[in-house]
A and B are shown apart, each in its own frame.
Chain A
Amino acid sequence: DAKTTQPPSMDCAEGRAANLPCNHSTISGNEYVYWYRQIHSQGPQYIIHGLKNNETNEMASLIITEDRKSSTLILPHATLRDTAVYYCIVRVDNNNDMRFGAGTRLTVKP
């Protein structure tokens, strides 16, 4: 599965949109982009996933570039409870491989 690159840390003001980037330049055509987050030492939480179209759910939006080499997770109105490590993972659907990298530590500040 393709490797991803994320910035190690980001800050965001409470109430503003948090835009978390992810590069996956070696992604192949059948690989999905998944996002998870982990708040402190809790179990990671699935956020959203997509293949090529942009996706939105109650938690976030996922924007995937047309060439699929990068994506952005958008938390539209960040709150203090969104402070967490965010992981971007690419994998083939129905494939086991789920390798978590270091992720981006997002800190939402008052």
Chain B
Amino acid sequence: EAQVTQNPRYLITVTGKKLTVTCSQNMNHEYMSWYRQDPGLGLRQIYYSMNVEVTDKGDVPEGYKVSRKEKRNFPLILESPSPNQTSLYFCASRRASGSGQFFGPGTRLTVL
């Protein structure tokens, strides 16, 4: 089944404790991206990647890192999480052109 998977789905952590949210797609898509969704602010893009080893900042990249060493994986790294990074996170992927994005199920992160 074609899908985007994210892990973990739920995470409660404390300020400053490094964490990684994994994202994997099985559709051989070139493009992948991360979004966060907050009440009243909608979906905002954090980082995106047009292909392996090519990443770029979205609208709200501060406090996040990403890497794209393999085509299928695009992990989101929070080196020192803070409470303002409490949010619902979505990973997405699509073909390079002519395609809509496929979204993962989301990761609900709480930083205390």
Q: Which residues of A contact B (CB under 8 A)?
A: 34, 36, 41-49, 93-94, 96, 98-103
By a CB distance below 8 angstroms, the chain B residues around A102 are 42
- Within the complex, the shortest CB–CB distance from A6 to chain B, in Å, comes to 12
By a CB distance below 8 angstroms, the chain B residues around A44 are 43, 90, 92, 101, 103
Q: Which of B42, B56, B98 has the most CB of A within 10 A?
A: B42
Closest partner residue, chain A, to B95 (CB atom): A94
Which residues of B33-54 have CB atoms within 8 Å of chain A's CB atoms?
A: 33, 35, 37, 42-43, 45, 48, 50
By a CB distance below 8 angstroms, the chain B residues around A48 are 100
Closest partner residue, chain A, to B90 (CB atom): A43
0/1 string, B68-100, CB within 8 A of A gives 1: 000000000000000000001010100011101
